[in-house]
Amino acid sequence: MAGSVDRAASTPLIEKRSIDYIPESERHGKLFSQFTLWLGANLQITAIVTGALAVVLGGDVFWSLVGLFVGQLLGGAVMALHAAQGPRLGLPQMISSRVQFGVYGAVIPLVLVCLMYIGFSASGSLLAGQAIAQLLQVEDWEGIVIFAALIVVLTVFGYRVIHMIGRIASVLGVVAFIYLFYRLLAGNDIGALLGNKHFSLSSFLLAVSLSASWQIAFGPYVADYSRYLPSNTSVPGTFWAVSLGAVIGAQASMVFGVFAAALAGSQFAHHEVSFIVGLGGTGVVAALLYFSVAFGKVTITTLNAYGSFMSIATIVSGFRGNRHISSALRLAYIFAMVGLATLLALLGKDSFLKDFSAFILFLLAFFTPWSAINLVDFYCITKERYDIPALSDPNGRYGRWNVPGISIYVLGVLIQMPFISTHFYTGPLVASLGDTDISWIIGLVVPAVLYYVVARRCTRSIPDQLIRPDAAKGTPGEFGKAIPQGTF
């Protein structure tokens, strides 16, 4: 571990790599940084609003809290299994999709991931912009633009700075939430809210879906922030560091959101930041809370901007056959993605709560099948034995288009449509299930089973061990012997 610390100290503050493989000589970091990063990323205003939706959309306080916790556990387990891939592969999360979809075929989930990044960045920029506007006494649009400029700078710095921000955000978040919970519990009868229990299956599953979708939505980029860890980092250790940080942070935020929405009623919508800060006080205390809200959004919005840059780079590199990205192109990608998210935040600031609820629920239809396929392949079919150099070769082991993998993914999306319930689309079977949305459960289980069955029967080979680009030529591990069954 001392060698890892030494490498971290000698690593440039501005990251030079992007979607290319991280060689062992550049690996550094500790598992605790994974915990603080995901704790800080979840102790923030958007998670509060997500929890509040469980009550805003009709649930009672007690069962909303239970449902949110169940969803955290289920979704947190899925996202943490993705995180454990980072140290083993030394690659961003989505580039590994080329194993399941082909070098060109991976563009399909990548485009959808980019839409996710833009949507989350837009919603985060809106809420952080409100806080900055209150703090600096400027218009909301000015606060949004100021926040966007900060995100561009931090994203340019990259991996190390993002983890530093996560450590700071986790400390600020813990302090702010302890204070806010104290004010909330001291000034209101929380026991009365918890005692008003009216179980509704549809409302309960809505709460589960809200928190599960929150966690699963991290899946496409969680390994981006663990890929610099040494390759021998414990898989269970990575799993628990990430899952505990994410689940504890998100559940604390969503619990607060549930109570805040239940107490505020109609005052909460469109005034989320000012209402929450108002619970804490005025003057200097309010200014500190506005700062905490804004800084809490810095971590997750920087993650989104960084991930969107790497997703765009992965799409382009798949057709260019080259994973190297120049500094100028990197900056152009970052400007483009942050700029688009900022524009959406400016245009959609008056209807945020309603549109955001539909957005995060609808995301499940596109990312649960991808997540199921990726995890089944990595842990059950290839069993971590990827040919990393072949991920950049359309004529190589993984080919251009993996038709079976793509077909299962598309089927996994389509099979959910009858069960989806959002304000802009409701499937035909939702009413017969008591207005209960079970689409994400189907989207996880069906593609996972289908992919496992089909992949086991296919004849295309997998290596007998992980093939890394930095293996010395001719040494064991550079070229693996084919095994007749496996990925396709």
Whole-number mean pLDDT of the chain? 82
What is the mean predicted confidence (pLDDT) over 361-379?
Answer: 87
What secondary structure does DSSP assign to 103-143, as a single string?
Answer: TTTTHHHHHHHHHHHHHHHHHHHHHHHHHHHHHHT--HHHH
| pLDDT-wise least confident of 33-37, 41-45, 61-65, 268-272 | 268-272
Residue showing tokens 């005034």: 271
Residue 407's identity, in one-letter code, is: S
Per the CB < 8 A criterion, the answer to whether 454 and 7 are in contact is: no
> Cβ contacts of residue 55 below 8 Å, gap of 6+?
61, 64, 258, 261, 262
Strand partners, 483: 462
The tens digit of pLDDT for each residue in 323-353 reads 666 777 778 888 888 888 888 888 766 665 4
Whole-number pLDDT of residue 323: 62
Are residues 155 and 312 in contact, defined by beta-carbon separation less than 8 angstroms? no
d(C-alpha 403, C-alpha 415), whole Å? 18
* Highest mean pLDDT, choosing among 2-6, 252-256, 447-451: 447-451
Residues 466-476: pLDDT tens digits? Answer: 888 865 444 33
Q: What's the mean pLDDT in 394-421?
A: 91
Q: What are phi and psi of 421, to 5 degrees?
A: -135, 105
% the chain with pLDDT above 90: 29
Dist CA 347 CA 204 (whole Å): 32
Distance CA 90, CA 227 (A): 4
The secondary structure of 228-273 as a DSSP string is TS-TTS-HHHHHHHHHHHHHHHHHHHHHHHHHHHHHHGGGSTT-HH
**Dihedral (C-alpha) 323, 326, 332, 337: value to the nearest 10 degrees?**
30
Using DSSP, state whether 386 is helix, strand or coil.
coil
* Rounded Cα–Cα distance for residues 150 and 183 (Å): 31
Burial of 270 (0-12, 13-18, 19+ CB in 10 A): middle
Rounded CA separation 264/276 (Å) = 10
| Predicted local confidence at residue 284, as pLDDT | 74
CA 13/CA 158 separation, integer angstroms: 8
Element (H, E) at 160: helix 159-187
- The reported pLDDT for the residue numbered 474 is 42
Quick one: pLDDT at residue 80? 95
Which CATH number fits the domain 2-363, given the four candidates 1.10.4160.10, 3.40.50.1010, 1.10.600.10, 3.40.50.620?
1.10.4160.10
Q: How far apart are CA 425 and CA 147, in angstroms?
A: 32
Q: Is the pLDDT of residue 240 over 60?
A: yes
Q: What is the pLDDT of residue 189?
A: 78
Mean pLDDT for 286-308 is: 80
Arithmetic mean of pLDDT, 52-77: 91
Distance between CA atoms of residues 112 and 436, nearest Å: 25
Q: Residue 480's pLDDT is what?
A: 40
Share of the chain above pLDDT 70, in %: 84
Average pLDDT over residues 375-395: 91
Q: Is the pLDDT of residue 9 over 60?
A: no
282 three-state secondary structure: coil
Who wins on pLDDT, 472 or 166?
166
pLDDT of 119 higher than 50: yes
Tell me the range of 67-76, 106-115, 175-184 where mean pLDDT is highest: 67-76
Query: pLDDT at position 375, please?
Result: 95
What number is the average pLDDT over the span 370-394? 91
d(CA 341, CA 264): 29
